[in-house]
């Protein structure tokens, strides 16, 4: 059974207890756009305490639970009103309510406040369906106020406009410009997650245009985005922004970005394909106008895959070259073999060394 069918069953289970429950948010929005979203969010009048009595609650966080149901995980959130602006992700106060409408009104955009009941019937109290038809992102309530409550909505708006190819309704667009300074208060981690989705979108060009039009580059500390090449990989975009120490990256990501910057500056060099793992080699290929397939085949068919494949033993090398020069020579031999200047044959390599030492 599909996760979606299980979600509908879960709604039925909750309703048996005289409680309300709906699928809400991205799943319903994308369902109406004819697109399958694997993330199914559920909202319900049932409080977390009651949910725990009836279901397997794996996590609970600020009234939001993760329920395991028939082997699937669902984020189930109790209807709530949020009081005060969000600081560090959570509002000052949460009040549970039994009113669906109240819960929908605390959500960000009308297209994200459409519900589906256990019979797949759409419940659209705020007019989100029409927005989807018009491909328009409209705030719930006053845009300026909603962005002030939670400035992350600025980036969510731009992200949705980018990935869904929607337009920002004009009051929302103006409010973003007016409230942009509030992004300073948002954690780099959350900003990075949204930017990541913008950069990895097929419509990243549109995303950049929107970020520029709404004057967000400076407050996000990514002024270089104006001049970056929008390669179809987010790390290749991040590495051009030079924000390794501002936004949170892992050690490995930082190392990779540094390496990729070096590769970007230099001419095409087959040695980089040889020394890198396939994923990195594919990224290098992207920068040099070579496709994934081309690089995969190229790497697979290199005359050598590692130093061990060179047809000369270290003893033989030691007889021919001074010890301190061996490391350097190894690299030269690899380079010569990879560029087809030298055949990977023992006597050829020996001759080559004699000529080059
Ligand atoms: P997707 O899962 O495709 O990223 P989504 O709309 O489901 O999109 P989630 O982050 O999963 O986004 O959030 C689920 C729902 O919770 C949203 O549809 C929206 O109704 C509400 N929501 C999420 N973040 C916010 C926010 N910052 N402010 C108000 N409502 C929000
Ligand atoms: Mg979602």
β-pair partners for 137? 168
Q: What is the pLDDT of residue 211?
A: 98
Burial class of residue 87 in the structure, from the number of CB atoms within 10 Å of its CB (0-12 exposed, 13-18 middle, 19+ buried): exposed
pTM > 0.85: yes or no? yes
- Ligand 2 centroid from CA 121, angstroms: 19
Element (H, E) at 160: helix 152-164
Q: Cβ(126) to ligand 1 under 6 A?
A: no
Q: Is 153 in the pocket of ligand 1 (CB under 6 A)?
A: yes
Ligand 1 centre from 256 Cα, in Å?
31
| 4 Cβ contact list (under 8 Å, min separation 6) | 40
Nearest residue to 126 via CA among 150, 157, 91, 102: 102
Q: What is the pLDDT of residue 88?
A: 64
SS3 category, 106: coil
Which atom of ligand 1 lies closest to the CA of 113? Answer: 20
Q: Which atom of ligand 1 is nearest to the CA of 37?
A: 3
Residue 57 burial by Cβ neighbours in a 10 Å radius (0-12, 13-18, 19+): middle
The reply to whether ligand 1 has any atom less than 6 angstroms from the CB of 82 is no
How far apart are alpha carbons 325 and 353 in whole angstroms? 12
What would the DSSP string read from start to end of 186-248?
A: S-HHHHHHHHHHHHTSTTHHHHHHHHHHTT-TTTTT-GGGGG----SSHHHHHHHHT-TTTS-
Nearest-angstrom CA–CA distance, 232 and 234? 7
| Beta-ladder partners of 23 | 42, 116
**CA 273, chain centre distance (Å):** 26
Q: Whose CA is nearest to atom 30 of ligand 1?
A: 107
Q: What is the pLDDT of residue 62?
A: 85
User: Which has the closest alpha carbon to 108: 91, 122, 93?
Assistant: 91
- Please tell me if the CB atom of residue 137 comes closer than 6 angstroms to any atom of ligand 1: no
Of 23, 64, 112, 186, the one to substitute when testing ligand 1's pocket (max ligand atoms within 8 A of C-beta) is 112
Per-residue tens of pLDDT for the chain, all 357 residues: 799 999 999 999 999 999 999 999 999 999 999 999 999 999 999 999 999 999 999 999 988 999 999 999 999 999 999 887 776 677 778 899 999 999 999 999 999 999 999 999 999 999 999 999 999 999 999 999 999 999 999 999 999 999 999 999 999 999 999 999 999 999 999 999 999 999 999 999 999 999 999 999 999 999 999 999 999 999 999 999 999 999 999 999 999 999 999 999 999 999 999 999 999 999 999 999 999 999 999 999 999 999 999 999 989 999 999 989 998 989 999 999 999 999 999 999 999 999 988
> Which of 43, 73, 47, 67 minimizes the C-alpha distance to 55?
67
Residue of minimum CA distance from atom 10 in ligand 1? 26
Q: 121, 117, 185: which is closest to 155 by C-alpha?
A: 185
| SS3 call for 77 | strand
Separation of alpha carbons 177 and 199, rounded Å: 20
- CA torsion sign for 349, 330, 258, 300 is positive
């Amino acid at each position: 059974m599909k996760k979606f069918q299980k979600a509908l069953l879960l709604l039925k289970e909750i309703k048996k207890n005289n409680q309300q429950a709906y699928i809400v948010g991205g799943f319903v929005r994308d369902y109406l756009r004819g697109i399958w979203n694997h993330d199914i969010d559920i909202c319900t009048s049932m409080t977390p305490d009651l949910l725990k009595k009836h279901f397997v609650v794996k996590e609970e966080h600020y009234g939001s639970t993760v329920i395991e149901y028939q082997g699937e995980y669902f984020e189930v959130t109790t209807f709530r009103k949020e009081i005060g602006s969000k600081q560090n992700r959570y509002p000052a106060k949460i009040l549970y309510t039994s009113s669906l409408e109240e819960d929908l009104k605390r959500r960000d955009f009308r297209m994200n406040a459409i519900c589906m009941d256990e019979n797949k019937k759409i419940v659209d109290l705020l007019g989100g369906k029409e927005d989807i038809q018009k491909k328009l992102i409209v705030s719930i309530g006053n845009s300026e106020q909603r962005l002030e409550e939670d400035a992350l909505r600025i980036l969510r708006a731009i992200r949705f406009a980018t990935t869904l190819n929607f337009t920002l309704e004009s009051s929302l667009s103006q409010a973003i410009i007016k409230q942009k300074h509030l992004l300073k208060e948002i954690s780099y981690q959350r900003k990075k997650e949204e930017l990541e989705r913008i950069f990895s979108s097929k419509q990243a060009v549109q995303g950049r245009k929107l970020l520029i039009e709404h004057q967000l580059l400076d407050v996000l500390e990514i002024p270089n985005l104006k001049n970056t090449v929008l390669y179809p990989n987010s790390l290749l975009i991040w590495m051009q922004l030079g924000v390794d120490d501002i936004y949170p990256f892992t050690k490995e990501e930082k190392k990779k970005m540094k390496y990729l910057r070096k590769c970007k500056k230099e001419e095409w060099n087959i040695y980089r394909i040889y020394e890198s793992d396939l994923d990195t080699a594919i990224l290098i290929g992207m920068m040099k106008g070579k496709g994934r397939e081309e690089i995969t085949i190229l790497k697979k068919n290199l005359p050598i895959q590692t130093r061990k494949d060179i047809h000369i033993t270290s003893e033989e090398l030691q007889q021919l070259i001074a010890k301190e020069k061996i490391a350097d020579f190894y690299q030269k031999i690899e380079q010569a073999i990879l560029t087809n200047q030298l055949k990977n044959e023992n006597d050829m390599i020996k001759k080559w060394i004699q000529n080059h030492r």
